Structure 1
Amino acid sequence: MDNHGVSRSDYAQSRTEEQKEKDRKKLEQYLALVSETNSKRSENDFSISSLELTSKVLKMNPEYYTMWNYRRQILLKTHLLSFDPSALEDLDAVVEATAAHHGAVIKALKEEQEFTLPLLLVFPKCYWLWNHRLWTLEQASVILSSDYAARFWKKELELVGMMLTRDARNFHGWMYRRILIREVEKLEKGSRAKGELEYTLKVVMGVGGMKNYSAWHQRSVLIPRLLNEENRDGQQRMDALEDELELIQKAITTDPDDQSLWFYHRFLVLERGEGAIAPKMPRSARLGMMEQQIEELKELLESHPEQRYILKALVLYVPALQALRKEPPSPDDEDEDDEEEEVDEAEENKQILEWLETLQRVDPMRKGRYIDLAKRIREA
Structure 2
Amino acid sequence: MHGRLKVRTTEEQQLIKRKEQQKKLLAYRLGMKQILESRQPDTYDPNSLAICSQLLIVNPDIYTLWNYRKEVVLLEISADNSNDSSSEALVNLLENELKLTEQCLLANPKSYGSWHHRYWILENHPDRNWQNEFDLCSKYLTMDDRNFHCWDYRRLILNKIGVTLGDELKFSTNRININFSNYSSWHYRSTLQALTDDCVQDELSLVKSALFTDPMDSSAWFYLRWLLSNSVVKHEHMKEFLANINQLLELEPDCKWILVAKCWLLKLLGLDEINYKTEEMESYLKLQEIDPMRKGQYVDCLKVLQLY
> Under a length normalisation based on structure 1, what TM-score does the superposition of the two structures give?
0.74
Q: Which runs of 5 or more residues in structure 2 are unaligned?
A: none
Q: What SS does the aligned partner of 1:63 have?
A: coil
Q: 1:359 to 1:5 in 2, by over 3 A?
A: same
Counterpart AA for 2:45: S
Distance 1:192 1:27 in 2: 49
Q: Secondary structure, in 3 states, of the residue corresponding to 1:168?
A: coil
Which residue matches 1:194?
Answer: 166
Give the C-alpha shift of residue 80 in structure 1. Answer: 6.4
> In 2, distance between residues paired with 1:9 and 1:105?
51
Taking the aligned partners of 1:44 and 1:84, their CA distance within structure 2 comes to: 16
Shift of 1:7: 5.7
1:211 touches 1:260 (CA, 8 Å); kept in 2? yes
Q: Tell me, what secondary structure is at the counterpart of 1:205?
A: helix
- Aligned residue for 1:160? 137
Percent identical among aligned pairs is 31
Q: Distance in 1 between matches of 2:4 and 2:151?
A: 55
- 1:23-42 equivalences under 5 Å are 23-41=21-39
- From the superposition, tell whether residues 102 and 153 of structure 1 become closer, same or farther in structure 2 (CA, over 3 Å): farther
In structure 2, C-alpha distance between the alignment counterparts of 1:14 and 1:222, rounded to whole Å: 55
Matches within 5 A, 1:126-137: 126-137=111-122
Would the alpha carbon gap of residues 126 and 80 (structure 1) be closer, same or farther in structure 2, given more than 3 Å must change? farther
The CA distance in 2 between the partners of 1:18 and 1:267, in whole Å, is 52
Instruction: Please name the residue that 1:362 is paired with.
Output: 290
Deviations 1:340-364 (A, max 9, x none): xxx6x34x32221121112223333
Residue 256 of structure 2 corresponds to residue 308 of structure 1: yes
Q: Mark the CA change 1:79 to 1:319 in structure 2 (over 3 Å): closer, same or farther.
A: closer
Whichever of the two has the greater Rg, that structure is 1
**One-letter amino acid of the structure 1 residue matched with residue 57 of structure 2:** K
Opposite residue 186 of structure 2, the aligned amino acid is W
What's 1:216 paired with? 186
CA offsets per residue over residues 204-231 of structure 1, 9 Å max, x none? 122xx21122222222232427x6xxxx
Q: 2:73–2:94: 8 Å Cα contact kept in structure 1? A: no
Q: CA deviation at 1:133?
A: 0.4
Q: 1:246 aligns with which of 205, 214, 217?
A: 205
Looking at structure 2, the residues matched to 160 and 102 of structure 1 have their Cα atoms a distance apart, in angstroms, of 29
Q: Give the letter aligned to residue 267 of structure 2.
A: P
CA-to-aligned-CA distance 1:267-325 (integer Å, 9 cap, x gap): 233411xxxxxx3x7xxxx22211110111011111211211111111111120122x3
Q: Can you list the C-alpha shifts for 1:46-105, whole angstroms capped at 9, x where unaligned? A: 2322322211222232111011101110122136634224xxxxxxxxxxxx34x34333
| CA shift digits 1:100-121 (9 cap, x unpaired) | x343333222111111212101
Give the secondary-structure state (helix, strand or coil) at the position aligned to 1:81: helix
Of 286, 292, 299, the match for 1:371: 299
Contact between 1:168 and 1:212, CA under 8 Å: does it hold in 2? yes
Matches within 5 A, 1:101-120: 101-120=86-105
TM-score, scaled to structure 2: 0.90
What are the ranges of 5 or more consecutive residues in structure 1 without an aligned counterpart?
A: 86-97, 228-233, 273-278, 326-342
Moved over 6 A (4+): none
1:8 corresponds to 2:7: yes
Secondary structure at the counterpart of residue 57 of structure 2: helix
Could you list the per-position Cα deviations for residues 30-59 of structure 1 after superposition, in whole angstroms to 9, with x for gaps in the alignment?
Answer: 111111111112687523223222112222
Q: Bigger CA drift: 47-56 or 69-78? A: 47-56
Alpha carbons of structure 1 residues 293 and 51: separation in structure 2 relative to 1, 3 Å:
same
Query: Contact between 1:46 and 1:78, CA under 8 Å: does it hold in 2?
Result: no
1:62–1:221: structure 2 CA closer, same or farther, 3 Å change rule? closer
Distance in 1 (CA, whole Å) between partners of 2:131 and 2:188 is 19
Which residue is 1:203 aligned to?
175
